[in-house]
Amino acid sequence: MPSSPAVIGVDSSTQSTKAVVVDASSGRVLATGRAAHTVTGTAGARESDPEQWWRALAEAVARALAGLDARAVTGIAVAGQQHGLVTLDASGRPLRPALLWNDTRSAPQAAALTAKLGAEGWLARTGSVPVASMTAAKWRWLCEHEPRTARAAAAVRLPHDFLTERLSGTAATDPGDASGTCWYSPATGAYDSGLLDLLELDAALLPAVAPTGATRAGSLTAAAARELGLPEGIAVAAGTGDNMAAAVGLGLGGQGLLDHPVVSLGTSGTVFAATRTRPATAALAGFAATDGAGVHLPLGCTLNCTLAVDKVAALLGLDREDAVPGGEAVLLPYLDGERTPDLPHASGLLTGLRHATTRQQLLGAAYEGAVFTVLRALDALPRTGEDVPLRLIGGGARGRTWVETVRRLSGRPVVLPRATELVALGAAALAAGATTGEDPVAVATNWGGGTGETLPPVARDRAAWDRIAAALPAAGALGRP
């Protein structure tokens, strides 16, 4: 006989795919599987073959199911890296590698789009100002640099849309991930036809927008079931973007916590909060939450976080934890350009170097520079005073130096959620919602995904903060084309 009902949540990120099998009633993670991705490109280009994502999904699910009863699985959902541009032919096969969120070649197109409507015009219509990360800028880059590919496109998808369609045979997206395209309006809950005309993008190429990420997009096809070793016909949720899924996994949203800021330290660094306030500021991306109900997910995002600091550690020949505060040194690790601040052509900046500066201080300065860049966006989030705890998630949340640097530069209490794979856990809650009709935020809240150890505040290191802030104008001057 099958075991008690289970669901699968998939986190298809920039570097890898993770799949978790979760007991649908308790939220207990029964098993986890992983498979790596390859990212290619130089000089601002960052690309991946979408077929690789599908193979990695199948491999991760197979590893997670090893030793488990696959017949117990009742639903599956995918949370994917945001903003990536996937172009497909009429048979659903990729025409070229996907342009990823951290591909900065579309910076000129983003600037041109911003000039068309002005920052205020874009904020009013989409909640965001185009930057190189946004899918609209990538589509314009493709139209200008590879027009034959753009003309040949029979479908345009985001990464999680591509995988959801492979699972269910249905072209569907959700409000959360769609809100990162700059052709969808969170205010109206629909694609903006005027923006599609401006972008020269046919609405017929886009997937339908489901009401929420937990909406049942369809059923697992026979072909997908054979590849994944899962029962045919189980529920496939519409899914969402990775940041929206993390919010669900933490229990943030209309049926959960509102106005509680989250700091995520991964390949990118992000700060976000679920709120009913729709902010309109260029400092944030005005995303929608995936659970609907008039909830927004304003988010600030940086390009350079854990990978950039690990690169500095490798250059210095140090372990990533062999760091001390930077002293007089300031290191802004903008190794891939930067999104916040909008400096797509920037490179790393080191200043304040002295004879007495040690390697350990230089590594500490890289941590400080990365954390400072992420935390600057907190001030733009609505209703998040300094007494409100930060929920710290992502790979960096498991690193002692990352945690202590966030505490020292923020001066806030920090909550370390017990759940470690929050994006995949949030996707699992979406799968549960698609299966039972329950609200996924309420499901994740009952699972306890957002609970964990609370670390008290420490005295804020304002000297380090001010020292780094003083170096920003130099980074800006060097980061312009």
Task: Give 214-257 pLDDT, tens digit per residue.
Answer: 999 999 999 999 999 999 999 999 999 999 999 999 999 877 78
Quick: pLDDT tens for 361-383: 999 999 999 999 999 988 888 76
Pick the closest to residue 391 from 366, 419, 365 (CA basis). 419
Identify the residue with better confidence: 285 or 401. 401
pLDDT value, residue 11: 97
Quick: pLDDT tens for 166-212: 999 999 999 999 999 999 999 899 999 999 999 999 999 999 999 99
pLDDT value, residue 371: 97
- Mean pLDDT (whole number) for 295-310: 92
- Specify the amino acid at residue 132: A
Q: What is the CATH number of domain 6-255?
A: 3.30.420.40
pLDDT > 80? residue 154: yes
pLDDT > 90? residue 303: no
Run of H or E including 20: strand 16-23
From CA 472, how far away is CA 460, in angstroms rounded? 20
Scanning the structure block, which residue is given the tokens 């939450």?
Answer: 289
From CA 331, how far away is CA 12, in angstroms rounded? 31
- Mean pLDDT (whole number) for 55-67: 97
| % residues pLDDT > 90 (the chain) | 81
Question: What share of residues in the chain are helix, strand, coil (percent, to 5)?
Answer: 40, 20, 40
pLDDT > 70? residue 481: no
Quick: pLDDT tens for 188-200: 999 999 999 999 9
From CA 93, how far away is CA 50, in angstroms rounded? 9
pLDDT averaged over the chain? 93
291 counts as catalytic: no
Q: What count of other Cβ atoms lies within 10 Å of the Cβ of residue 259?
A: 16
**Residue 56: both structure tokens together:** 């990695």
pLDDT > 90? residue 342: no
Burial of 59 (0-12, 13-18, 19+ CB in 10 A): middle
pLDDT value, residue 480: 55
Q: What count of other Cβ atoms lies within 10 Å of the Cβ of residue 462?
A: 11
From CA 180, how far away is CA 429, in angstroms rounded? 21
Which segment of 26-30, 252-256, 315-319, 448-452 scores lowest on mean pLDDT? 252-256
Task: Cite the DSSP H helix spans in 66-158.
Answer: 107-126, 135-145, 147-152
Please answer whether residues 11 and 17 qualify as being in contact, where contact means their C-beta atoms are separated by less than 8 angstroms.
Answer: yes
Please answer whether residues 460 and 411 qualify as being in contact, where contact means their C-beta atoms are separated by less than 8 angstroms.
Answer: yes
Chain CA centroid to CA 199, Å = 24
Q: Which of 242, 336, 342, 439 is catalytic?
A: 242
Which segment of 143-157, 286-300, 374-388 scores lowest on mean pLDDT? 374-388
